[in-house]
Amino acid sequence: MSAALALGDDALVLSHRLGQWAGHAPVLEEEVALANIALDLLGQARVLLSLAGDEDELAFLREERAFRNVQLVEQPNGDFAHTIARQLYFSAYQLPLYRELAAGDGPFAPLAAKAAQEVDYHLDHARQWTLRLGDGTQESHARMQRACDALWRYTGELFRPVEGLGVDPSALEQGWLRSVGEVLERATLTLPDGPRSGGWAAGAGREGLHTESFGRMLAEMQHLHRSHPGASW
Least distance in angstroms from the C-beta of 117 to another protein: 13
Least distance in angstroms from the C-beta of 41 to another protein: 15
Is 117 a residue that touches another protein (CB under 8 A)? no
Q: Which of 11, 12, 25, 162 binds another protein (CB under 8 A)?
A: 25
Least distance in angstroms from the C-beta of 125 to another protein: 7
Angle between helix 28-52 and 109-134 (nearest 10): 150
Least distance in angstroms from the C-beta of 119 to another protein: 15
Q: Which of 32, 66, 171, 224 binds another protein (CB under 8 A)?
A: 32
Quick check: 38 and 120 in contact, CB under 8 A? no
What is the footprint of another protein within residues 123-142 (CB under 8 A)? 124-125, 128, 132
Q: How many residues does the chain have?
A: 233
Q: Which is nearer to another protein, 25 or 52 (CB)?
A: 25
Quick check: 141 and 133 in contact, CB under 8 A? yes
Residues within the interface to another protein (CB under 8 A): 23, 25-30, 32-33, 36, 124-125, 128, 132
